[in-house]
Amino acid sequence: MMHVNNAVYYMYFDTAQTTFYIQNGLLDMRRTSPYVVAESGCRHFTEVSYPDLLTVGIRTAKLGNASLRMEMGLFRNDADVASAECFFVHVFIDPQTRRPMVIPDAARAVFEAIVVG
């Protein structure tokens, strides 16, 4: 088994949230991102190794007017407890001015569907 570097965990989490945005029609990779990351963090509990089978769970922890906090857990193999937890605070921005804007209704509905409070 090979060690997975801590920076790779962020790649897993970033891929999961980007995939979530694309699958829900919230991100078109040919255009400017509708949000910026204002804050992120990761806590590690147990090591993951190659070739573990990894699953990322994703939820909305806080939904504001222009921002939200996405939280994710990284699970190895069939574990019920996360090996790592991560969060990202996304601020939605106007693509022209790059200033914060209200989260569009369609996006808000997607995030509300996965709110865990």
Q: What is the residue-wise DSSP string for 35-104? A: EEEEEEEEEE-S--EET--EEEEEEEEEE-SSEEEEEEEEEETT-SS-SEEEEEEEEEB-TTT--B-PPP
Model confidence pTM above 0.85? yes
Hey, where are the domains in the chain? Answer: 2-112
Tokens of 56: 């990322």
- pLDDT by residue (tens digit) across 60-112? 999 999 999 999 999 999 999 999 999 999 999 998 899 999 999 999 999 99
- pLDDT by residue (tens digit) across 45-55? 999 998 999 99
**Is domain 2-112 annotated with CATH 3.10.129.10?**
yes
- pLDDT by residue (tens digit) across 19-38? 999 999 998 877 888 899 99
